[in-house]
Chains A and B, each alone.
Chain A
Amino acid sequence: MKSHHDLIRLEQVNLHFGRNHVLQNIDMALHKGCITTLIGPNGAGKTTLVKVVLGLTKPSSGNVWREEGLRIGYMPQKLQIDRTFPLTVKRFLQTTQCRDKNLILKALSDVGAETLLQESIHNLSGGEMQRVLLARALLRDPNLLVLDEPVQGVDINGQLELYALIARIRDQRNCGVLMISHDLHLVMSSTDHVICMNHHICCSGHPEHVSNDPSFVDLFGQRGAEQLALYSHHHNHRHNAHGDVVQQECNHG
């Protein structure tokens, strides 16, 4: 982790939907220049937690502290734009109330999508759409990027490219990043901090630690966890993650 300049802090956040206790005693902080990845099974409350961070959903109890002047760039999980809505990438980016063509071009070239400016939003591939959404988030000159499954609908190579791109953006802008991901093994090399959650935070810490944490193994099954750990081993020879005794960082909620 590069610094501990907090952008946002959640303290003992709880959220109930009727009888469902969706978020249970969540404590977390997002730091400047740090990529935090949220993983967990389907229905674990990841998107709900992101909505609390964004201020779209109010927690039932607990505190959410935001740094003054915090600008969040948000990339939603998917955009369902009706095909009857004629929209080019350029016009789509203009609806952020950013009319400056140079800024729009800059944001598009930052994500490697400058050729798409005049393209219809309906003709984009999955990967192109994700890049355009990312460009839109960058247009707000954010100090925190919140990305809900940024690699959804993208093939494996494209996913790795996108994660590398997100890491590069963090390096250039020194902004904080919070993203939801399904596969820890792909995101591993480009994240600083992993939070593994299933309504409560099961474990958190460096990706290597999390992949060996017993509660992570519980959550994803022995085989899945082994695959993830093996993958990380394969990718990072300096660390011997597989089979080693790992320092426990588990805070069961």
Chain B
Amino acid sequence: MADFLLLALLGGLGVAAIAGPLGSFVVWRRMAYFGDTLAHSALLGVSLGFLFDINLNVAVIACCVLLAITLVALQRQHIVATDTLLGIMAHSSLSLGLVAIALIDDIRVDLMAYLFGDLLAVTPEDLYWIYGGALLVAALLYKLWEPLLAITINEELAQVEGVRVTAVRLVLMLLIAVIIAVAMKIVGILLISSLLIIPAAAARRLANTPEQMAIGAGVLGCLAVTLGLGLSYQWDTPAGPSVVVVAMMEFLILYSWPQRQAA
């Protein structure tokens, strides 16, 4: 197997494995649009990275984290409805990113790679970022698992029961920001939320407990990455979108299966 393919596979598996459990929370808590907004802001991070000549991963993570914090702060002001706020921030940050990249005229930026991913250009350095990020997210998810489930059930109930709701919610947002930053290379800004949402939604059909769904989502995501890369290699299709297409197929197959009694 070609080296670039192995790197792509390792990178994709790392991201998909952790996107599953995290994506389950995105689905349960209806944060799909939030994930999209963070992803859109990643392009702003890329352009700022070029502009100030800092590591792109660092710039993207910083940008996503800043956006997540701004979002939480603005949500509290109740200026506009949350979905409107998300829409404003998603498209403003994407446009700001595009405008900023256009203004940096001494660098040629392959926009398509950032928008739709460039899985086949994954470098060993990228792998460090992906696995570092994935390990960090996995460790925090493990540690905060029960409180996260509790605030997903009902935030006020959790607070009465002694969970530090605001802190736990903020950590969840930051984890999503980290994953989006490291996953950008794999499926691109426009397709990142699909990697969070589709495997988790598909795994719902097989799961009776939150843990089964989280792990199932990770497994289905890894399967999608493997098959998608195979597809891409075989028929020379774009890698990121191929992965998403396979994930969609998984979803369709699982949901056309006859329903059984499930929790």
Contacts and interface: CB of A to CB of B under 8 A. Distances in A.
A54 interface: yes
Interface string B197-217: 000110010011110110000
Contacts of B154: 76, 79-81
Contact of B153 (A55, A56, A95): A95
B262 A86 contact: yes
B83 interface: no
B212 A95 contact: no
Interface residues of B, number: 26
A74 B160 contact: yes
B201 A84 contact: yes
A56 B156 contact: yes
A140 interface: yes
Contacts of B28: 82, 84-85
B99 interface: no
Contacts of A81: 153-154
Contact of A88 (B159, B200, B208): B208
B157 A85 contact: no
Interface string A77-105: 00111101111100110111100000000
Given A54-B160, A84-B28, A95 B150 contact: yes
A85 B210 contact: yes
Interface in B117-170: 146, 149-150, 152-154, 156-157, 159-161
Nearest to B214: A86
Given A82-B30, A120-B263, A72 B210 contact: no
A94 B161 CA distance: 12
Interface in A145-193: 146
A56 B201 CA distance: 33
A121 interface: yes
A40 B157 CA distance: 23
Given A56-B159, A91-B209, A91-B210, A86 B204 contact: yes
Contacts of B157: 74, 76, 79, 136
B27 interface: yes
A91 B204 CA distance: 16
Contacts of B146: 94-95, 97
B161 A140 contact: yes
Nearest to B216: A86
A87 B263 contact: yes
Contacts of B208: 86, 88, 120
A80 B28 CA distance: 11
Nearest to A90: B209
Interface string A2-16: 000000000000000
B62 to A, nearest CB: 31
B30 A86 contact: no
Contacts of A56: 156, 159-160
Chain A to chain B: the 3 pairs with minimum beta-carbon distance, closest first: A120-B263, A74-B160, A85-B28
Given A86-B213, A96-B150, A97-B161, 8 more contacts: A56-B160, A74-B156, A76-B154, A79-B157, A84-B28, A87-B263, A91-B210, A95-B146
Interface of A: 51, 54-56, 72, 74, 76, 79-82, 84-88, 91-92, 94-97, 120-122, 136, 140, 146
23 contacts: A54-B156, A56-B159, A56-B160, A74-B160, A76-B154, A79-B153, A79-B154, A79-B157, A82-B27, A82-B29, A82-B30, A84-B27, A84-B204, A85-B28, A85-B210, A86-B204, A87-B263, A88-B209, A91-B210, A95-B149, A97-B150, A122-B263, A146-B160
